[in-house]
Amino acid sequence: MGNPHRLLSVPLYLAVAATLCSASALAAAPGHTTKHGVDVDIRSAGRQVADEVAEFGNAAPQDAVSPIPGQSVASQVKLKGSNVQANNAALDNIQTYSFTRPFIKYTQSETSIAASGRNIVATYNNSADQPLVQTGPTSLAFVHRFLSGYSVSNDGGATWASGSMPPIAGSIFTFGDPSVGVDRKGNFYFATLGANAAGLSTIQVNKSVNGGRSWSDAAVVQQDNGGDKEWLAVGPDPAAMNRDNVYVTWTSFQASGAQLRFGRTTDGGATWQAKTIFAPPPNANPDFPQNSLQFSNPAVDRITGVLYVPFARFSNGDQDFLQIMVSKDAGETFSFLNFNVPGAPDPTLLPLVQPGRLIDCGTSGGFRLAIHAGTQSTGRFGQPTFVQASRLTVQPAFAARNGVLYLAWSQSTSTFFGDPTSNTNVMFMRSDDGGATWSAPVQVNPTVVGNTQHVLPALSIDSDPNDVHVAYYTQHADGTVDVDMANSHDRGVTFPAKRAIRVSSQTTALAPTNIPLSAPSGGTFNTTNYDRLIRPCYNLGEYLSVDSANGTVHALWGDSRNSVTHPVSGFDPLSGQTHPQQDVFYQAVKAQ
């Protein structure tokens, strides 16, 4: 008998496989993985834009034909002040033309935050600073594409100034995927996707020596046309503990499969060395990890200087995995930690089922795991599609202090990939001996009736080893979303409900990010984000962020409480309508 929770019926599965090519061909597509014959896109929004730029340069994409629209909390846990919008709303803008849909540039989300004293740097993906000029009767071009935005506060989060991160000298491109960190001297470092002056994709890092008020031009870590989802970590060199190194890891999508790459600077960003540290081969067993990986999240133990690199590995079946690489010599050599989970294909693998429902985000958005709201429609090959949708990742959240390791991740309650009936919880486990042994997983989020999905966790620890903080998005049964934070005061043994706190002061709705422009036909399904500069199904971003320092947890997230009204246009399916749009909000939390 067939499994009733499988993604597709057998006849439909065969139709999809025949239409989308063979499984082996799908597995070779850079930036994609295969699940039961379905081509699942695991590229970030920035990587998708970089690929578009590589193909079309700075020309704006042509418009597709579009229709005319017919609990009580422990006293030690509390918010410090109110939610504050970190991005400058005045930078949002709309450009209109007589021959195409308006360009609404109102998206700021996917956040990373770092704090040093009163200086706080908030970074995010940003569509606002991307001006267009008309180059012909019906053609447009971007003056520049700066997706890497930042805001800085030098007064502890009370007030903020915003800008765009400088590109590499001579370039007009940054592609987002922000990650920010700070060294012990208060220098901030920012990693992002970008392109050099020749338009070739890069992994790059900016530096600020004045509390985030200004930034250097980006330095190239590596020129990598397949680079995606870079992440940055700062911490002491284990052989020279008075010196902080900066590390960057990322995925490189190659025709032979995905590779985990690594960059390091030991001189404050003046020079970089880069190399590949893991390039897994495919496996004949579809339920075992394949040559597909993504979402690395390096962290440095600030007491020992040991570097840890957790990341996700993908199979072609229902179950996927987390792995952790470790380096005790500042990245010269790496080895794997063991989880020793009974029944896992390998002792280094932590099995999980990814969160979210598999939906169709259109030809340009791909098939994606997502949370969603509103009415279901039918996309390509019978897959569901929703206008209100926000894509998900399974990036592991990680921290380490003096050999104690903290790991959190989001996991489906189902054993089947993309199960529409599943919920999602945030799970946590700890190792007290540098990864030799691990505690049993515990659920971080309280079980609350009506809270169905808990996704995109971020984790931080402070100097007190007892305090562990995990923030995440909570989706309610009606489709609306909040940001919550679970707090442990016993090193993660328990996350009591009375120590959980709602960080967002307003419950928000998902924006219309996957709007059909045509009916699915022949494997093509034209959809659009309301913000034409951002890919379909991109709403909250693919992660949020927390950072802890001196007893305060700094939280930063993408938030849809504000709205935008479309100009009246016969080309726009949302002509004249008002709906949510994304901004970045900050909140300080006292949790001890």
CA 550 → CA 116, 160, 297, 484, 547, distances in Å? 10, 21, 23, 21, 10
pLDDT at 464 (0 to 100): 86
CB 191 within 8 A of CB 231: yes
DSSP category for residue 332: S
DSSP category for residue 65: P
Helix/strand/coil for 12: helix
Return d(Cα 474, Cα 458) in angstroms, integer: 13
Give the mean model confidence (pLDDT) for residues 273-277.
98
Return d(Cα 429, Cα 407) in angstroms, integer: 5
Q: What share of the chain is helix, strand, coil (3-state, %, to 5)?
A: 5, 45, 45
Predicted confidence (pLDDT) per residue in 23-62, tens digit: 333 345 799 999 988 899 999 988 988 888 887 788 887 7
In a 13 Å sphere around the CA of 49, the CA atoms on its Cβ side amount to 31
Q: 190 or 72: which carries more pLDDT confidence?
A: 190
3-state secondary structure 429-464: EEECCCCCCCCCCEECCCCCCCEEEEEEEEEEECCC
Q: Is the pLDDT at 7 greater than 60, yes or no?
A: no
At 40, list the tokens: 């699942």
Return d(Cα 259, Cα 311) in angstroms, integer: 11
Q: Is the pLDDT at 297 greater than 90, yes or no?
A: yes
CB 150 within 8 A of CB 212: yes
Helix/strand/coil for 45: helix
pLDDT at 66 (0 to 100): 57
CA 572 → CA 225, 486, 567, distances in Å? 34, 41, 9
Give the mean model confidence (pLDDT) for residues 347-363.
98
Predicted confidence (pLDDT) per residue in 312-334, tens digit: 999 999 999 999 999 999 999 99
pLDDT confidence bin for 73, thresholds 50/70/90: confident
At 101, list the tokens: 């849909």
Residue 486's contacts (CB-CB under 8 Å, 6 or more residues apart) are 426, 444, 445, 446, 469, 470, 471, 472, 495, 499, 500
For residue 295, give the nearest of 388, 391, 372 by alpha carbon. 391
At 39, list the tokens: 């081509």
pLDDT at 551 (0 to 100): 84
DSSP category for residue 8: S
CB 577 within 8 A of CB 563: no
pTM score of the predicted model: 0.94
Q: Is the pLDDT at 494 greater than 50, yes or no?
A: yes
Mean pLDDT, the chain, rounded, equals 93
Give the mean model confidence (pLDDT) for residues 104-121.
97
Helix/strand/coil for 232: strand
Q: Is the pLDDT at 500 greater than 90, yes or no?
A: yes
- Note the residue count of the chain: 592
CA 567 → CA 15, 32, 138, 388, 564, distances in Å? 41, 36, 19, 20, 10
Predicted confidence (pLDDT) per residue in 411-434, tens digit: 999 999 999 999 999 999 999 999
pLDDT confidence bin for 65, thresholds 50/70/90: low
Residue 184's contacts (CB-CB under 8 Å, 6 or more residues apart) are 236, 244
**Percent of the chain whose predicted confidence (pLDDT) is above 90:** 86
CB 39 within 8 A of CB 383: no
Residue 398's contacts (CB-CB under 8 Å, 6 or more residues apart) are 297, 299, 308, 310, 324, 405, 406, 407, 408, 459
Q: Is the pLDDT at 540 greater than 70, yes or no?
A: yes
Q: All domains of the chain, ordered by start, with CATH?
A: 10-591 (2.120.10.10)
